[in-house]
Structure 1
Amino acid sequence: MSNESRAVLVTESCGRRCGDRLHEVLAGRGRVQLLPEGATLSAQQLADVQAAFLSPDLMKASNKQAPNPALAAFGAAVNSAPSLRWLHTAASGTDRPLLQDAMRRGVAVTSSPGANAASVAQTAIAGVLALARGVPGWVRDQDARRWSAPTLPRDLDGQHAVVIGLGAIGSRVARGLRALGLRVTGVRRQAGPHADCDAVAAQEQLPALLPQADWLLLCCPLNAQTRDLVDAALLARLPAHAGLVNVARGEVVVEADLFDAVRAGRLGAVYADVFVEEPLPAESPWWDLPRTLISPHVAAMSKGFVGRTEEMFLANLQRWLDGAELHNLARPG
């Protein structure tokens, strides 16, 4: 297959936004194969597709149990493209089954870490501030038209936060918490100095850190090492006043254990942007759990997110066309 005949698969929506830039990067070294929303492409149209972009417009109406129609159509196209060599995702994580399956087929998969780092980090810090000041209780009081007696929350200044994951998001979270006066211990695979943390511990040291932690923030990718990481045994090591913030993935936590810890008063408060089942069903007991704040997996969302992910894709497309090393190459698992 000649370079001129190879194709790059993008959605019609993505093509409208960055089509000019896409053709500029391709510079005659390939063509653009557009995928209309929800459409099915023929075998002939997919025969020369060698690269594809899972763009932000495909991530709307998040449902981990069943992809939305546009994402399902894109997945079908990717799985039916016999010459696919590279797939770029607008997400920072690569735990979607579509991406994991592609890697197992030998397709290079790259991601967009950092494109949403600022918004996710700001959301995590907002969660800490909201829980520290008792915002969930204010919301419930407002809904009930109830003027409650004031409480005396603990001062944030001088508290200890443990941040699991020190990638683009976790580093920003650590930096922001330190600016608020907290002491921050980062947790990653290996211990060692980090500019945004007061200390850094290896993951196997996590249980020993928790009895002195006021906050546990989950900012890590989902993989074999982090799946079900936070379980009843780990939660039991946290002080009863501690708060937990999850902007990682729902599967990093054993949700039943976390729910029981909050309900029983063994954990102070929780902010969660992510759950194992999304959307969270209306009958879920999480909606009524006191001292809990929930958002519908929106921490990454901001107006600039789409443009940043497209620029990261186009930069990697240039490298791919030049035969250079791709940035942010993912690993299976």
Structure 2
Amino acid sequence: MEEDRRASGRSGTVSDTAPLHILCSEREAPLLAPLLPTLERAIKLCHPGDEIAAHIEAAFISRDVTGRSTKFEIMPDTERFYTALRAAPNLQWLHVHSAGIDRDFYQQQQQRGVRVTASHGASDAVVAQSALTGLLALARKLPQILQAQQQHSWEPLLGEGKTPRDLQGQHAVVVGWGGIGQRIGQLLQVLGLEVSVARHSGEPAGPDLRTVRYDQLHEVLPTASWLILACPLTDATRGLISADLLTLLPAHACVINVARGHVIDEPALVHALQDGRLGGAFLDVFYHEPLPADSPIWGLKNVIASPHSAGFSDGNAARVRQIFANKLQLWAQGSL
């Protein structure tokens, strides 16, 4: 996501010689152990339910801990881990597998003085590839092709309104210019699209990239064929893409959201898609997750609904482990 945000919290300086207790999942422990740095203190990995879990000073929340839990619905295994963290009075540092730390639990830990860090960069390339996949699928009208296939109907993409538009020369607006946004921008430029960037600072993103602040989005949307959301959820981005801004997009424009559901006015987006005021959308994030079974989004023919999976890849866990091990070295030195 966009610019790295450093979370505030207590100092992680470790000066005594007692063992350093780190809470992690039972599955991750044997995979994590070989990567851990050599410290002046011995490192003991423990798990929820262990007697020594109450003495932890650091913790690692890997993907298997959160599992199928979301920000809104916490599964029992995840809650068990959260409970162990809440009961640890000496907890100073918590590292999480995700790129964002906007879950309520993470925010609560920050409020109690725990340093919370994220795995920035681990899934940037994967999320960017997912965003591009969604864009290409919509551009090449794959939803219509798949619908025709399910009906055993031969429907060539010919005729007015059916033939895909050339991507070359189309205008894409990328909101958020962190690791994901930058990769998306690079990929789009390779495909010949004109790229504009919206970022919090408004600082120029680079040559041939028109850059605006978030509050200047209205200047670039009227000519945009693609609105791509890749920013973190912050006070500045919550509700950023309002109903009014959506009305500025051309009728053929499509929305790609690999950021967070609450960055955009979801009801307004649904209405625009239902009324044909937008061309389509690839949505990986939603107001509520899992997406309720009665959500109208499921039935929209011009929408690809992805179950918050844009960042999933079989190489992510190893990258996150290495990020944690590197940060552990810094934290133990008091320089994180």
**Same fold judged by TM-score > 0.5?**
yes
Answering whether residue 81 of structure 2 is matched by residue 74 of structure 1, we say yes
SS in 1 for 2:221: helix
Alignment check: 8 A CA contact 1:50 1:85 kept = yes
Answering whether residue 304 of structure 2 is matched by residue 293 of structure 1, we say yes
Match of 1:64 in 2: 71
Deviation at 1:205, TM superposition (A): 0.7
* Counterparts of residues 167-206 of structure 1 (less than 5 Å): 167-195=178-206, 198-206=209-217
* Higher mean C-alpha deviation, range 11-20 or range 236-245: 11-20
Answering whether residue 266 of structure 2 is matched by residue 255 of structure 1, we say yes
Counterparts of 1:134 and 1:3 in 2: how far apart (Å)?
62
- The one-letter code of the counterpart of 2:319 is R
Query: Which one of 114, 134, 155 corresponds to residue 141 of structure 2?
Result: 134
Deviation at 1:303, TM superposition (A): 1.1
Query: Which one of 125, 147, 150 corresponds to residue 118 of structure 1?
Result: 125
Alignment check: 8 A CA contact 1:41 1:77 kept = no
Match of 2:23 in 1: 9
Q: CA RMSD in A?
A: 1.6
Match of 2:33 in 1: 19
Deviation at 1:143, TM superposition (A): 1.6
Structure 2 unaligned residues grouped into runs of 5+: 1-14
Match of 1:276 in 2: 287
- The one-letter code of the counterpart of 1:146 is S
- The one-letter code of the counterpart of 1:115 is A
Deviation at 1:19, TM superposition (A): 1.5
Query: Which one of 90, 93, 98 corresponds to residue 86 of structure 1?
Result: 93
Structure 1 unaligned residues grouped into runs of 5+: 327-333
Counterparts of 1:30 and 1:73 in 2: how far apart (Å)?
26
Higher relative contact order (CA 8 A, sep 6+): 2
Aligned residues: 318
* Higher mean C-alpha deviation, range 138-147 or range 297-306: 138-147
Normalising by structure 2, report the TM-score. 0.90
- The one-letter code of the counterpart of 2:44 is V
SS in 2 for 1:317: helix
Answering whether residue 38 of structure 2 is matched by residue 31 of structure 1, we say no
- The one-letter code of the counterpart of 1:34 is C
SS in 1 for 2:18: helix
Higher helix residue share: 1
Task: Give a deviation string over 1:115-172, Cα, whole Å, max 9, x none.
Answer: 0001000000111111111111111111222222422111110011000000010000
- The one-letter code of the counterpart of 1:155 is D
Counterparts of 1:196 and 1:221 in 2: how far apart (Å)?
24
Counterparts of 1:167 and 1:173 in 2: how far apart (Å)?
10
Deviation at 1:197, TM superposition (A): 5.8
SS in 2 for 1:92: coil
Match of 2:322 in 1: 311
Match of 2:12 in 1: none
Match of 1:222 in 2: 233
Alignment check: 8 A CA contact 1:122 1:173 kept = yes
Q: Give the percent of matched residue pairs that are identical in Structure 1 and Structure 2.
A: 41
Counterparts of 1:75 and 1:197 in 2: how far apart (Å)?
46
Normalising by structure 1, report the TM-score. 0.91
Match of 2:276 in 1: 265
Alignment check: 8 A CA contact 1:193 1:200 kept = yes
